[in-house]
Amino acid sequence: MVNTRPEQDMQLEIASVSVAIETKRIVDDIHLRVAPGEIVGLIGPNGSGKSTLLRSVYRMLRPQAGYVQLGGDDVWKMSARDSARRTAMVVQESASDFEFSVSDVVIMGRTPHKGLLDLDNQHDEDLVTAALDQVGMLAFANRLYGTLSGGEKQRVLMARALAQQPRLLVLDEPTNHLDIRFQLEVLDMVRRLGLTTLVTLHDLNLAAAYCKRIYLLCAGSIVASGSPAEVLTPANLRTVFGVEAIVGQHPTRGHLQLSFSSLDVPTEIDHTYSDCPTDCKS
């Protein structure tokens, strides 16, 4: 396994963060904390602000208000290089036509750790090999990235993040395009790494199984936070997602497990509920 454990675990703190795109406020006054080594999930309907909030963490969208701190340092006051040494991300929107081999893509994760004229060395190559092996893609090392399936590309991007040896993992739907086996394997791997991790997940059962704490977003605001059992209640899911939910327990692992059904309404769901601050629709 790639040794990604930092010399010093780092806490992520988001305080009073608001983000606007053009004139529209997408994220409003978010307070969120991820303790060192903790996996924290962001859940919410499409358009609720999850990915936008992540972009403020990995320095793609500067907040209009508030701050994002990692290990007590403001990420927006760091250099891009220092930030990349601490934070690795796997996001949904990535180029699909790289004219690079799989190994070339993964070794890009080493860039923040190297000087401008530094060549790749044996240590870099060993990290790439170990990372590809961890995600089950070592046999594809010489394949062109653009020829891979969506799920294979996702695993390669996860390997690039591992090769980066970050102190914080920011994952935006890391199980996107993956079949069930690899969804579980990727999240099992993230849990074994023991890194401070902030992850968005559409699959609420995966969130319940792998996240120590969860923040539920609706229309850019946090409407619930806590353990999976505290957040994934039938009332919260009815209010924010517009579904009926039955909460049970996984028969062998014991974690919370959900079953869903549609609300008994014939028309399109309206997400403007009394407990949700504004319309959650995209």
Q: Output the pTM of the full model.
A: 0.87
- Would you state the pLDDT for residue 213? 97
Q: Are 145 and 101 in contact (CB under 8 A)?
A: yes
- Would you state the pLDDT for residue 97? 58
- Would you state the pLDDT for residue 173? 93
Backbone angles phi, psi at 78, to 5 degrees: -80, 160
pLDDT, one tens digit per residue, over 63-99 is: 999 999 999 999 999 999 999 999 999 987 555 556 8
Residue 211's nearest CA partner among 191, 230, 240 is 191
| Secondary structure in 3-state letters for 124-188 | HHHHHHHHHHHCCCHHHCCCEHHHCCHHHHHHHHHHHHHHCCCCEEEEECCCCCCCHHHHHHHHH
Q: Which domains does the chain have, with CATH numbers?
A: 12-95+166-262 (3.40.50.300)
Residue 115 pLDDT > 90: no
The residue-averaged pLDDT of 210-220 equals 96
Q: Which residue has the higher pLDDT, 268 or 218?
A: 218
The residue-averaged pLDDT of 150-176 equals 91
Residue 133 pLDDT > 90: yes
User: Which range (184-193, 197-206, 211-220) has the least confidence?
Assistant: 184-193
- Cα separation of 208 and 165, whole Å? 26
Q: Which residue has the higher pLDDT, 9 or 21?
A: 21
Q: Are 187 and 213 in contact (CB under 8 A)?
A: no
Per-chain mean pLDDT for the chain = 87
Q: Which residues pair with 14 in a beta bridge?
A: 32, 68
